[in-house]
Amino acid sequence: MPILILLSFVLAACQQGAEIRIDQKDGRATFSLSRISSDKPACIRNLEVYEGEPKGGQPLWQIAGGDEGCIASVEFAKVPKGFSQADDTPAGLRLKPGQSYAVQASGTGWLAFGAFTAR
């Protein structure tokens, strides 16, 4: 029984441990993350953007990596140093005004979700 309680705390610690702020300007979106209830930075390791709801489909844009330090902010379709993006990412990827998007980001010990409509 104590192992199940401990496992529950560990799983809970990895869920919604950060929040995503989405700033839009001139057709661009920047995703900034901060930890909830912690002074530790929200270092992004993976970030995915979906058109509409994820529904188990492939992300429109996906980056992974983050071994080169702590990055807590990412601009859509710009791959930060130390990251790679999915090989099938189309060139010149842009957000469509009026389209809804979902964002999922994760790092060591946290997971965050967000949604926005492109302007």
Question: What is the pTM (predicted TM-score) of this model?
Answer: 0.83
Mean pLDDT of all residues in 19-24: 96
Q: Given this model, what pLDDT does residue 13 score?
A: 41
Give the closest residue to 60 by CA, choosing from 17, 104, 19: 104
| Percent over 70 (pLDDT), the chain | 86
Q: Given this model, what pLDDT does residue 37 score?
A: 84
Give the closest residue to 34 by CA, choosing from 75, 72, 76: 72
